[in-house]
Structure 1
């Protein structure tokens, strides 16, 4: 990277807008990443999930069991979490909704493209937002 920052185990520190998405990944910070990502105030994390598996309410809950701990660590710095669930809207299970509420995290689940547009718009306003977004093929 040109700015001297380093990536550690699927993590890049700092806040960045998402420049592009599709073909199973995302472009941000003058680089690209294949796979899903979690964007927090501290930086962007790789979200290791089975990219070939269909997204369902149950699989989304299982995926969140893996990433909820890192989201909770920064919950005090997040006013809202956007979740991009791929090409289709997949709503959370009641159990997942309850886990997010108990963590003090307000959230909205939507298609990946909608989540990215909303995130980028609020990012420009310097809002306290986070996003977990599933990569799509398009």
Structure 2
């Protein structure tokens, strides 16, 4: 069996998560968070669209982690992001973290907006 080391090219993978926090690139971050090629930042939730739309040119898909369970994102939130040219995929936060890491390792232009579990 051959194992290949994953290279993230400067982007930060999700190392873990727990009640109210995420561990991203070795750093523990409390509360909702965004992860873009430009960096990691606190996120204000579904009302905070400006920070997401401002990154539209650097990503193709934004994974929305809806917390411990999958939930629908508000229709106006999704519409605003899609109008900006961002593909939106909503899923439970654990699934969003795993999917993000896999696609990030493939060099894809992906980002995250996560609500904690």
* Structure 2 match to 1:43: 39
* Structure 2 match to 1:93: 74
Paired with 1:128 and 1:91, the residues of 2 have a C-alpha distance of: 23
Q: Which ranges of structure 2 fall in alignment gaps of 5 or more residues?
A: 1-9
* Structure 2 match to 1:127: 108
Residues 63 and 100 in structure 2, CA contact (< 8 A), matched pair in contact too: yes
* Structure 1 match to 2:91: 110
Q: TM-score, normalised by structure 1?
A: 0.73
Of 47, 52, 65, which aligns to 2:47?
65
Q: How many residues align?
A: 108
Q: Which ranges of structure 1 fall in alignment gaps of 5 or more residues?
A: 1-13, 49-62
Q: TM-score, normalised by structure 2?
A: 0.85
CA RMSD, Structure 1 to Structure 2 (Å): 1.3
Q: Which has the higher contact order (CA 8 A, sep 6+)?
A: 2
